[in-house]
Structures are given as structure tokens and as C-alpha cells.
Structure 1
Amino acid sequence: MDVINKKLWLILLFMIVSPTVFAQDIIWQEDFSTYPNGTTAGSDINLPAGNDWTIDQHGGGIFSVQGAEFQASGLSTEAVWTSEIIDISVSNYARLSIDANWIITAFFNNSDYIRMYYRLDGGPEELFFEQESGFFTVGGSATASRVLSGNSLQIVIRVSTDDFIYFDNVTLATVPVLYSRRNGPWNNGTVWSADDFSGEQDACSCTPTGSEVVVIGDGDQVVINTDATAAAVVIHNTGILRWTGNASLNIASGFVDIQSGGTISNNGNVANMRFNNPLSAHLHNSGSYTMTNLVLPTAGARLELTGNSAITVLNDIDFEQRNTVLVNNSAAGLTANRILFDNDNSTLINNGVISLNGNIEAGAGDDDNIITNTAGGTLTFSNISLNNANLTISNSGVINQTGNFINGSIDTGSRFNNLHGGVWNWSHTGGGHDTSVNAILNCSDGTNTFNYNGAGPQNIIPVNYSNLTVSGSDAKSAQTELDVNGDLYITGSSQLNPGANNIRLAGNWTNNSDNANPFNEGTGTVIFDGITDQTIATTGEESFGGLAIIKGGGRVLLSSDVRVAGTLTLNSGNIDVGGSNMIIAATGRISGGAVSSFIVVNNGHLTQSNIGSGGRTGPILFPVGVSSSSYTPLTFDNSTGVADNFSVTLCDKINSGGDCGTAGIAADAVGRMWFIEEETIGGSDATLTLQWSASDELPGFDRADVNLLHHDGSHWEVMYNGPSAGSGPYTATASGITSFSPFGVESAASAPLPVDLIYFKAELTGDQVNLSWSTALEINNDFFTIERTTDLKNFEVVATIQGMGNADVKNNYTATDFSPVEGTSYYILKQTDFDGTSRYFDLVGVNYNITDQQQKIALFPVPANGEYLNVRLTAFETGDLIQVEVYDLHGKTVHGQTAPPGAGTLQLVFQNKLSPGLYTLRVNSPHPVIESFTVK
């Protein structure tokens, strides 16, 4: 570039260099003045120290010496200029300086930059100057400068541009040093020596300027009571720099280094440290540092904080000029009152700990400032108050915000980003926030957490969340529907209060809050809509108003009991209860339920409440399966029975003992057992439908002739015999179910389970009674005897039928009573073995008068335990006292009791416990009613 163009440079940042008596020796220099245009490597022995440099360029464009400067223009990729490794051990401190300038045709595009680095003592590249796109419209210049201390240095310059960028005068020079030699004021010439700390050394009769490094140590205490300047400041062990008046210390071009045992103290005064370096400065504290204000007063300045001791700023960290950068790498943390953005386009990068007692603030119109809290950073502050300036906060670390988003101060051009890995803790509990935050708070980037941890009520900001945590104490209330794409946590002593709003959750639900009502479910619905497995984990039982499963993949896994007071909607995806229970409350119900969405119960239960007369009537679906690939629901109708709570679980096998802990049979049945339990035993009168698919059937199973079985604790009994219904899936239905335990389905023809009697029936046809029965298994069976009675005391033989001896297939038998007795007769089936032992089966009754019998009784629990029996009486409303008698198989009366007319339910308490066996109960009335029952 010619001299005229050089005069066009816009000098934006410069160093004030004061006259000094100290010489600054050149260690290394390159001014490109001796090279012809196009040179791409340098070695010039004519300069005092010699030099050596190379480039690395790939792609087109100019990257070479042009007109006694180094020029970069029209580059298609980044190009790199690198110096030799330079010995700087000859000086305690060296100043690296480089001139840069640029001419652009419009604006820097996104790929235009010049970045200057150094490698000290073989370490990594350290950035000390950067000029990027978008700041200038015509041209500009700057001098990058950094004071360094070490043994070796290498300089690296990286450039990318399609316009014109130049650099020149790459210089390393020694830096003069002033040492404290006694206690005294900064501006007293007798305090300083050019040699060492010793007070025996001659005073230099000078005071520090922006050209010298100041070193204080050897127990000396230097005080500042008026504004002062130095290139850099080093405080050695026992050295003290103390303010005795209100003043500023200007750091012109280097660094401040407080070594272990060193101290910088404001001493109760307004002490400002102003880093005037237009490019890059460094504050390192391993001792003690206390200032009133830390100021970046020069546009484009960059200050890095390091060290293992805390840096304390009593008032402000002040970004006074635009384009300034503060990088906190302090391991021990930075403490201040507030951060003030007092201009545009400045940046705070926090890689350590920053603790503010006050706010993050901006002046009116001070826009486009940035706070980046990195993955290793923790930033604590009170309020965000921006005077309607815009600010971008990007958090990948931890933010602790104790104050508010101040009302009326947040510009909608701001962006508050909780990024992947970030945790934003907000503990403010008083007053509403600026509603502009609803549009600018981004909590859905990657996996991050927003935590409402206030010690009091808080309103939840209506934005989409990745992970959402409510902690602290008191209620955290949703304002609109909550959409949580990750996990939701209710912890501490908090309560989540959605009100009437829904919650959409794609991750896990965890509730371990010790609040008395940690989830105040309200009238909304919690919707699980994730695409992978989701877990519900609580301390104790979790209660939902409404719960919906609308998943794109995976299951909802329970690790604790869940109760639904409203509607459980099963749309897509399964609930796997594990060892827990899914409970539908008395006010609840299930909507949906199909092969695409059901409840997996193999250890836990599905419980539905209040099923029966006076409660939920009609067919009630239990949409259950033993695994995610096997849907085997049951339908339960207890409309005429006493309302009760019923629980269902499943077993993936069926066996003779009716228990899931024993190996199952291998053929001729549906390979499932349905376990049904009622909370209060007795009073049920249910119709039960079991459903299965072809894949649930074991080999040899015949759907055309099935037995729906009930295991009574000792053997299977047939509740229904006949064909299955449906063409896939298939069902079997039985009615009159009054007791519960395992249920199953087998092929009737092969009857693989040890069922003795399938059924025994007595039917009046004209003037004769036809009797029929069927067996599934006979062992040593000699013959059957049918006996008849009218008074349950005296029995007579009606017929004797030869048995099959030993048989493991179904056998059908018939007999006829050609002379039935007028009125009501009862028939009982007796089976006798070859060795003379016999057993009786249930009584069945026939009314030969064909009189409508409106009076009915129901017995529960059955089988009975021999201690008591409940009798529900229907239509015994008139007449004398009701007489109830109980007989054993020999016709002996074992119990008698009376009840007044109109009694609903009568409890018989047996004075002597009944032995196991078959018994008959008779209610005497104009038309006696008789029912048999067993005692186990």
C-alpha cells in the first residue's frame, strides 16, 4: 500500500506512549521492507536480530509481501503466517506489537477476519487480537500489543478475506521495569528503582508511565491517591498496592499479576482499574485483589481473568466502550455488585464463577451485548434490568437468578438461551415478570434444565422446556399448557400446580417432594407423548386428574403406584406397571384401550374402583396384557352385584394349581391366567369375558369347544362350556361369577386341566325332570348316584349310572326322573370310587309346580371359611319371621337363625366352625329357597 493509502487508515485504537529515559531493545522484528512483492517466506540477516517466517496457504488469492507490507486479499480459504520460535529469555518482559489495517469494498462478509495469536513456551495458541466481520464500512487500522514474560515465543496470524487486509511491523521488544524500593506514593520518584527491590539501589527519580512494567514486592507498600498509569503491574509476595484516595489505575498495554502473598486493595476508597489496552489484557490473581470498579474503557479491548484466588470488585464491572470482551477463567471466582453494559456490542464470556450481589444492567439504547456462560461457568445475579436495550444470554453452564426479569425493561430483541447442558435456577418469588420474556426465553435447545427453586409461590413462564424442575417450596403454577420435551422433576418442598392446564411430557416424571400435596393435579391432563420409554417415579402414590398415553414409541414405566381420578386415555403406547399398581379411582374411567395401547400387568395390578350396583355399571374394560406384544383384556360387568373395587393381573402360563410360580402346561389351552381380586369379599354377581389372540393359544387348542375355568383354591371349575366367539381375537364369557381367583380357558374335549365335573343340570320337561352332567377327568370312578330331596333332610335315589373308571377325556351323562314330586325338588349328584369312597357335588333345584319364584338369595363369601356366611335376601318383604337353616350332607341341621321380614343382608355366625365340605342353606317361606355352598 502506498503512503497516501496509509494516511487513509482510520486509527480506532492506539497506545499512548510517554517519553521515558529507558531504552527498549528490539528482540525480533519484521517490517517486510526488504522483500520484493510476492515473497512468501522470510529470512533477512540485515535486521538487528534476523528473522524467519513462513506461510500456509491453500486455494486462490494473494497472501504475500506487497509494497513493504504483508497483504491478504481475495482468499478462498484461511491462510496462516507463522514466525520462527523466538528466544525472549533475554528480557524479564517483552512487548509484542503488530500493526494491522484493512480496506473493504462493502462490509466484511461472514468469512472476513484477522486473528493474531502467540505460543508462549511451547504452549497452545493464545488469541490476543481479533477483527471480525461487520464492524467497519470503509477501512481501519489497529496496533495489537501484549506484554509477555517467558522463555520462547512463536507468533501466528490467521486471515480470511475476499477484500484487503494488511499487517506490518511485527515487533518483539524489551520492556523497561520499575521496582519498588520502599514504601511511598506511586507518583514519588524515590519509590522506584530500575534495578531491583533493594532500598540500597539508587532511585530512578521517575514515576511509572504507560511504557513500563511496575513490580512491587519485598514488603513494600505503594499507595495511590491520584490517577496513575503503567504498562503492566506485578505484585510479588508481601508486596502491597493500596489506595488512599479516590483514583484510577490505567493499565496501558499489558497485564496485572498478583502473585501469592501479594495484595491490591481499594482500602475503602473508590478505586477503579481501567484496562486501556485497545486489544488484549490479562488480570491474574493468586493473592488478594479488591477494587471498587473494573472498567473496560477502550473500544475493542479484551480482558482475561485468571488465577486461583478470588477477584473482588465492590461495585461495577463496566463495559464502558463498545466491542469490549471480558473472559473470566478465574478458578476461584469473580465477585462484583453488578455488570453494566454501558455501550454496544460487548461480550462477557464466563468459564469460571461470577457472583453478583446486584443486577445485570444495560443503559438505554446499549444494544447487541452478549453474555456467554459456558459449560464450566456459574453465573449468579439478582435482576435483569435492561432499560429496553437488547441483550443475548447463552447459558451452557449454571445460572442462579435470585431476582426478576424487571417489568418494562426487557426488549423483545433480546434472546435468553438455555442451551444444551445448561441449568437456569430462578428463585424470584415476588411480583410478575416482564412478559416479553415469554417470547425470548428459549429453553428447548438440546438437553437443559430450568429450575423454579424459590422459597415461595412462583408462576411458571409459558415457554417450551427441555427439562423442567420445580423445587424450593410452595406452589409453582402453570399459566398455560406446559410442554416439557425432557424430564419433569417435583422436588424439595414444592408443589406443581397446573390448574386447568394440560402438561405434555416427553421424558420422565419424578416426584420426591416432601410437600403434603406435591402435585395438585387440578382438572387438566398429563399427556405422555415421548418416543422412548418414560418413567413415573414418586415417593408414595402419584395421583393424576387426567392421564393420557399418546406416544410415538416406547412405554410408560411405573416405579410407584399411580391413581387416576379422571380419565385414563390409552391412545398409543403401553403402560408397564412393573411391580406397581395402576388405580382408576371411583370417579375415573378408561378411554380407549386396544392392541396399540394397553396396560402391561405381570407383577402389578390394574385396579378399577366402584364397579357394581350404585357405582359403575355395564361392561367395564380392563385393557391388559402380560407383555407389550400380548394383549389379553377382560370385560367385567357387575351391574347386579354389590359395588366393589376389582384388581386384575396376568400370568403368561396356565397350570393345574392355578399359580404363576409353577410351570405351565404345554398344550390344549390358552397360555394365560387372569387373576381377579375383589377388595371386599362377597356380594358380587358378575359376567366375565376373557379375550385372547391366536398367538396366545397353546398347540392343540380347539376354539370350537372351550371351557372358561375358575380355580377355587383346590381345583378348576367350569364356568362356561361352549364355542368361543369372534374370528380373531377370540372371547369366552361366563356369568354368575360370585368368587374370584385365577381364571383360564381350555379345550373342553381334551380338558388338560384337572376338572372333575364340568356341569350338572336339572331341567323340567313336561312331567319329567331331565338330568345331565359332564366330566373332564375320572380316576377310579365306579358309578354316579342321583338323589332327590324336598326338605333337605331326607334323600332318595332317583338313578344310578355306571362311570368310566379312568378317563382323561370329556364324558357326557344323562338320567331322567320320570316321577317328579309336586312342588320344589332338589337333586344332588354323588360319585363313588371303586374303593367305596364318595363325594357330592352341588344341589340343583326344579319347581314342578312351575310357580314363579321371585324370592332369591345370594351367599358370600363362597367358598366359605366355616366361621360365617353372608346371605343377601331379595323379595322377602312380607310375612312372619324368616327362618334360615343350614344342613350338612347327612341332613343334620348345623345352624338355625331368624330374621325379620325386609332384612336385606343377614350374617350367619356359626357357633361351631363348620368342617370343610358341602352344605345346604334353606330359607323357609311359602316357597322355600334352597342354595348349596362349600366350606374350604
Structure 2
Amino acid sequence: MKQNYTSSSGTRWISTTVVAALLLFGPVARAQEGSQGNTTIFGGAQMTFFGNHNFVTGGGGAQPGVILTERASGNFGVLNFSGDNLTSTGASDAGYVDGYVRKYGTGTFVFPVGDNGFLGQFAASADGTMGAYFHADPNTAITSNLFTGSDYTALPNGGPFATSSVGANVDVVSTVEYWDIDGANATPLTLTWDAGSAIASLTGSQLNKLTIVGWNGTEWVAIPSRVDTISVLGGSSDLTTGSITTVAPLAPDTYTAYTFASLLVPMPVTLVKFTAVAENGTVLLGWSTTEETNSDRFEILRSTDGKKWAHIGTVASSGESKVLVNYRYVDRNPVAGVNLYRLKMIDRATDGDNAAFAYSGIRDVRVDGGLTIGLYPNPVSDKLLISNSDEVRELNLSTVSGTRIIHQLRPPKDGIDVTRLTPGIYMLSLTLFDGTISTHKIVVSR
């Protein structure tokens, strides 16, 4: 949810962001706006814990049980947890935050959020992440307004979220619950479930079909994720209780809402990386998996228009694996111009059935069909020379992890000085005046 936070007006409650005032309450709890049986944070106000909190015992300015925060769009209350490696304990259907929680600081934090008597926790590690749980059907996106006794309008902004609108390989989307999770900093996201989530019904009792999905504005799309062997809440994950985590970090703001879904076909592999790089007239494809179950092979597909795909090669998979496995394939005959690549990840067929498969995301690479750009010497210890350097408009030299080291609009005619670089592998991206971009692997040695 992308909202503007504004203070309430015309009420007898004064909204505050509680900074210096909170320090008056000691090391744990801070500002409480009011109380309606349990602790209540009204619209536009915030309350902050600077330490751990237990929902059974309360304390530090907060009563045991539910902490209620107003959810009105653009003017809601927030409970902050500020500090590194904080925890919230004792959360249950009788003790949680009914509304929005934000975390400041490092370390994975389990957000003790719930809605109308139902606990629905999630976990994230990035500083500034905020979220709320909605025990409601995404198709209506309406939950009770406990302040007025009526219902809120559809929340968050952008709702409702039709579960019939789904992306590739998504079968059924949960109609039990969803989360609004916000934040600009990338983080792994973990959703938890209990018996009320009806995961067995959702997946046909096939836990390997479970995935996290995000609403992208028009449809629910599958986010690569895997069930945690040990739940973030403790104990083994099964069809009744457990947790599932995204394979790679993402900025929570990427999607408007998150929930569970069942895949049409379980992913035979957990793909965590897929790259395509032009190199000396060829294209080097690389990908990595962290888990493979009954996987048979990868088929490499290439297209020039994204509609017609040609099979250009096959790489055998490990089959069964729970560790990081790296793969590579070289396309020695790419077409001039833009080349699109994707992987078809194919399962082993059993009992004569057709093999299940899933597609990776698409990667694009531009390959120059005319002018040849040469780099020498490579490996290099002093200066790296570029042939036809007059045709190069811009260069970027980066580490393999993507950290840019050198950026120049025109390469020097006497070569790129690498004497100050640490020996190792670097990536050089060259942009020509005709718009062609090529990427080259450079080895710096001494």
C-alpha cells in the first residue's frame, strides 16, 4: 500500500509521531493514545516499543491482549518496534496487533498482526517494513471497523483483488486472508498459516504446490517461494501449520497485497538466479538452483519476438538436490539484434504420464551483428585496450556482484587503467553509438 500518512483532525485525540516523548516512559514502551478495553492507537497516531513485547503480560504502557490500530485509508494508526533483533512473544488469536505494525532496525522480525480474532503473522528483515493482516476475502477486501462497528471500504488502496485474475501457473488463490506489506527495502518475505488458512483444501493436500502470490495491479502472480522445513514460528511446516518464504528478497512495495495460492504444476526446481550475457559474439547463459525434486532437464529456448520460441539446447539437471547448483550454457549462434531467452524446467515423467514443466522468467541480450569490439589483453594486469573504441559511447566496469567501479562516457584511447583494481573477475558493459550494448568478462591479474 502506498499511502500518505496524515494526522486526524477535529477529534479530542492529539496525533503524534512519538519521538522524544516516548523516551519518558523508560526502555520498553512509549505512547498510548487511548484505550477501549485494550490498548488503542487512533488514526494518524503512533506508538513505539523500543524493546521486546509479550502479548500475554503486556507492560510498558500496553495492556495484555489486543492492541487495536485504526486502519482508515491514508489516516491509520501504527505500532512501531524500534531496535535490532526485537521479538514479540505470546501472540495468539486473543493477543495481537489488529492493524499496522512497522519495524525499525536489523534482524528478522515476526510481525504480530491479526484481524478480528484471527492471528496472521508474517516475517521480514528490512528496516522500515510495515504491514497488516486482513482475515477477509480478497474479492471484497472488506474487514470490520472496530472503531465504528461498521466496515471499512476496500483496503488497501487498489482493492478489491479478484482471485479469478491470475498469472502463469497459478491455479487457485486463497479467499481466506491476505496481507498488505509495504517497504522500499528488499527483504525475504515469510507468510504463516494455521488450520484456519485451509492450506490442505487450497492445494489438494499437496504442500509442494503452495506458493506466495502478489497482486500486481491486475492479477495475482506467483512469487518464487518455498515452504520452510522449520516454520518461522517453530515446529515443522505441514498442511495445518507452517510458513513459506520467498526464494529471493524483494521490495514489499512491488505488490499491493500478498496471499497464498496453489500452483497448477509444482516447480521441479527452485530457481534463484538466471542471467544472460553477450560475450565475444556468443551469449553465456547461467542459472542456479537451491532445490530440485524429481527434476530431469533444462531446455533452453530462444526467441526474437517473445511469441515464437525455438529450442536451442538441453542441459541435464541434478535430479534431487537441496544445495546450490550452478549451470551454464553457451549460445554460439545468436541472431544479430535482440535475443530473448527462457528456461523450460522439466520434471521426470512417471508411470507413463507426460512430464510436468514450468518456465523461468525471460532474459534479453542484444548482440552486435556487424562491428566487432575486441578487448586485449585479457587477462589484463596494466591497461585494457578496446578495438574500435571510437564507436563506444559509454562504458561501465563492475564487480560480478554488480557494484560499479568505473564509469566513463568515452573510453581512453590508451586503454583502461586496471592497476588499482584487486585481482579477480569483472564485467565490462559497452554501449555503442548505435545503441548496441555488449557485456564482457574481464580477468584482472598480477
Larger radius of gyration: 1
Higher strand share: 1
TM over 0.5: no
What TM bracket, shorter-length normalisation?
0.3 to 0.5
The alignment's TM-score, normalised by the length of structure 1, stands at 0.21
